Chains A and B, each alone.
Chain A
Amino acid sequence: MSGTTLSLRTAPAGRIDMTGVLPEILAGRTAAEIEKMPLRVDGVPVALGECFAVTAGEGEALTIRPEGARLDGLGRDMRTGMLRVEGAAGHYLAQGMRGGELIVDGDAGDCAANGMRGGCLRIAGNAGDWLAAALIGDRAGMGGGVVAVGGNAGDRLGDRMRRGLVLVRGRAGTACGARMRAGTLVVAGGCGTLAGFGLRRGSLILGQAPEAMPACHGDAGIVTLAWLGLLRRHAEAILPGAMPDTSRMHRYMGDLAFGGKGEILVP
C-alpha cells in the first residue's frame, strides 16, 4: 500500500510555501482535490497542481520530490503520519511539528524544528542555522520530540530549547545550545565558539571538546554518569554513531551567569 506522491513539474523561480501540505490533510483526498489545494510561490497564491504532479495513494503517508526546488514550511504543524522528502528541504522545516515522522533525504535550510513539540524529524544531510530553536519572537524553542541529523548543523543549534532530544552526527556551528532551558543536545563532531552561552539547564553532550571552554562554565571534574549509557542505547536506535561510547566524561557546569544548572559534557 503506497502513499500519496507529489513530484515537482518544473522548479519555479521563487520559493514555494508548503504550509498545509501534510499527510493528515491529504489522506483520503483524490488527486483532483489535492491539485486544487492552495500554495504560495513567493507569496502569490498558486494551485498545488500547477507545481506538482499528484499521485494519490492510501493512508497517512506522503512523499514529496522537490527536484531541486526550494520548498519552505514542509511538515509545518504536522501531527500524525509519515512525510518523506526525497531531496533537500527549504527553510522552516517541521516548524511546530507535534507528531508523526518526517524524513528528509537531503539537506534542510534554516529554522528547522523551531517550536517542535513532538514526533521525529530525520535529516540525512546537513541542517542550517537555528535548528530546534524558538519560533521567531517566542521565548522557548523546541519543546519535545526527536531530531536526528546525519550531517552537520549550523549556528545557534537548540537556541532556547526547552525539552526533547537533538542528535547530530557531524559538527555544529557557533553558539550551540545557547540560552537553552532544558533538553538534551548531542553533537558527535563538536562545535564552534560560544557553546552553551546563556545555558540555564539541560545537557550539551559533545563528542569532541571545543577549542576553548566558555569562561562562564565551571570545571566540575571527570564524572561517571550512568544515564549516559541509557541515553546511548536510546540514541543508537535512532541515529547510530551520534552518542559517544562512554559513560565517563569531563563535566563543565554553566552558564554561571545564568544560574549554572546546565552542563557541557566532553570526552
Chain B
Amino acid sequence: MLRLKNGRLYDPAHGVDGVVRDLYVDRGRLVAEPGPGLPLDGEIDLAGRIVMAGAIDLHTHIGGGKMNIARALLPEDHRRDPVPAADGMHAGCGHAAPSTWTTGYRYAEMGYTACFEPAMLPTNARHTHLEMGDIPMVDKGAYAMLGSDDFFLRLLAAGSDQQLINDYVGWTLHASQAMAIKVVNPGGISAFKFNARGLDLDEPHPYYGITPRKVIQTLSRAVHELGVAHPLHVHASNLGVPGNADTTLATMAAAEGLPIHLTHIQFHSYGTEGERRFSSEAERIADAINRMQNVSADVGQILFGQTVTASGDTMKQYANHRHAHPDKWVVADMECDAGCGVVPFKYKDKNFVNALQWAIGLELFLRVGDPWRIFLTTDHPNGAPFTSYPHLIRLLMDRDFRNSKLDEIHPDAAAHSQLRSLEREYSLYEIAVMTRAAPARSLGLADRGHLGEGAAADIVVYRDEADREAMFARPEYVFKDGELIVRDGRVVNVVNGALHAVKPEYDKGIEQSLRDYFERYMTMSMEHVKVKDDEICACGASTLIPHACGRRA
C-alpha cells in the first residue's frame, strides 16, 4: 500500500476543493485509510502539491485511417520534431500528428490518463483499435461514426421503426467496440457524393430525402434508449461557415430535450456581421448552452501555428482545401459509408479570421457558466496539437496573460471580440471539473476522473506554480492504475492502457438484414467487420473494460 500524504486535493466529483488529505493506493485502486498497524510499502510527502485525478480527453483524433494519412502528409512537420528512443520508450516523431507511441508518452507527460478517439468508421474499427493499441500509457476508447452510412440512411428514408434503428446502433457499438456514437455533418458526407456542397439542418438529402434534423433526432433517441452514457456526439452541419451559429442553435433544439453533445463548438459559433462578413456569435451560443441543461459541448479551441485538420466531414474539408498549408490535401471516401478529409493548416495570429476564431473559442470557455458541460479540447489536431493544452489552461486561468496575447493578434479581430471585457479566470477546481470529473461523468466512467474510494488510481501531482502553463506541462508525479509512470514531466515507466467500450442490449435479429446487406454492397462480409472482444488485447490494449448500459424507455 502506498500513502500519498499532505497533498491538496481537487476532486470535483466529491466537491473537494483544495482540501489537504492523504490518499491510499492499493493494487491499482484508491482505498480507505487502513487504520493503524497496516504496513505501508511506500509514502510520498506531497505537502504544497496539487493533486487531481488523471485527466481525460474526450475528443482527440489519435487513431484511425485519417491520422495515418495526416502523418504521411506531413514529413516536414515530423522532421522538425524527432523523438529519439530513450528509457524504454520507442522512437517516433511529434508535433501535429505524432506517432502512436509519442502520442501516448506526451499525453501521460501532461497528466492525461485516458483519451477518446471521436471518429471511428465502423468498417475501419479494426484498424483504429490496432492503432490505439499502439498508443501506450493512457486508456482509450472510440466513438463509432454513423449518420452518413447508406444502411442507416435507407432505414431512415424507408421510415423504419425507431426500434430497428436502435438495434442497428446497438449492433454498431458492439461490432466496432465503441464507447459512444458520433455523427459528422449529419447526412452531409453522403450528400457531398451527390454533388451537394452544403446540407442545412432542414434541407432534404438529394437522394434519400431525409434531413439532418431527422438524423439527429433518430440517433440521439437511439443512443438515449440504448442507455449509452455519453450523449450523441454531434459534429454539426456547416462547420466553419460564417453564419453557422443559427444552424448550431437549431441543432441543439433538434435533440428535443434529449442529451446532446456538440463537439468543437468554436467552429460552429460564427456570425456574418462586420465588413468581412465574419463575426463572433459566442455569446448567443454560450447563452443557449447555459439555458439548455441537456446540451454539453467541447470547444475545439484553435491556437496559432502549424497543424493539420483531419475530419470525416469531406464536404467541408473539400471546401477548405484551398487554404491548405503546405499546399497538399486528401479527401477520400471510405466504403461509401463515410469520408475522410485531411488538410494541413497554419493558424496565423495576424490573420483576421484565425485571430477571431481564437477569441471565439476563449469567449465560449469564459461565457459558459457550468464547467460540467464544457470540455477543454483543441479537437486535436484540428485546432492545435494536444500538447498545447497547458498553454490553453493558462489562457483560461490568467487574465493578464490572456490580454497580453490578445494584444498580439490582428487588431480588428481583437476589437471585434468582447474577450477583453470578460474578467473570468478559471479556478483549479473548475479546471479539474472540465478536464477530469465532467468528461468521466459524461462518458459514464464510474471509477475514473475522481479520487474517491474504489476509483482507479489514476493520480496526477502538480507543483503549485504561478505559471499555470509550466505547472500543467510538467506534473511532478503521474500514477496510472497505481503505478508511477511519469516523474517531473518525463515518462519513467511505460505501461499499456485499457480499452473502454459500451455493451448495450439489442436484438441480434438485425444481423440477418445486415448480413445480406454486407454481402450485396460491401467489400467485407459482416462477420469480418465485427471486432471481437478477444481481439482487443491482441490489438495492443492491456484489457477490455466493458460498460453495461441500462436500457431507457
Contacts and interface: CB of A to CB of B under 8 A. Distances in A.
A230 interface: no
B275 interface: no
Given A43-B85, A44-B85, A44-B86, A137 B91 contact: no
B161 interface: no
A211 interface: no
B446 interface: no
Contacts of A137: 72, 74-76
Chain A, interface size: which category?
under 10
Nearest to A139: B328
Interface string B65-86: 0000000101110010000111
Contact of B75 (A40, A43, A45, A138): A138
Interface string A15-55: 00000000000000000000000001001110000000000
A136 interface: yes
A180 interface: no
A135 interface: yes
Nearest to B326: A139
Nearest to B84: A43
A43 B88 CA distance: 12
Contacts of B79: 135
B84 A136 contact: no
A135 B76 CA distance: 9
A136 B85 contact: no
Interface string B85-110: 11000010000000000000000000
Contact of A43 (B74, B91, B328): B91
A45 B72 CA distance: 27
A45 B86 CA distance: 9
A40 B82 CA distance: 12
B75 A44 contact: no
Contacts of A135: 75-76, 79
A120 B481 CA distance: 56
A139 B326 CA distance: 11
B63 to A, nearest CB: 21
A38 to B, nearest CB: 10
A138 B84 contact: no
A138 B76 contact: yes
A40 B91 CA distance: 12
Contacts of A43: 84-86, 91
Contacts of B85: 43-44
Contacts of B72: 137
Contacts of B86: 43-45
Interface in B25-84: 72, 74-76, 79, 84
Nearest to B71: A137
Interface string A133-170: 00111110000000000000000000000000000000
A44 B84 contact: yes
B490 to A, nearest CB: 14
Interface string A109-151: 0000000000000000000000000011111000000000000
Contacts of A40: 84
A77 B190 CA distance: 47
11 contacts: A40-B84, A43-B84, A43-B86, A43-B91, A44-B84, A45-B84, A45-B86, A135-B76, A135-B79, A137-B74, A139-B328
Given A45-B86, A139-B328, 15 more contacts: A40-B84, A43-B84, A43-B85, A43-B91, A44-B84, A44-B86, A45-B84, A135-B75, A135-B76, A136-B75, A137-B72, A137-B74, A137-B75, A137-B76, A138-B75
Interface of B: 72, 74-76, 79, 84-86, 91, 328
Interface of A: 40, 43-45, 135-139
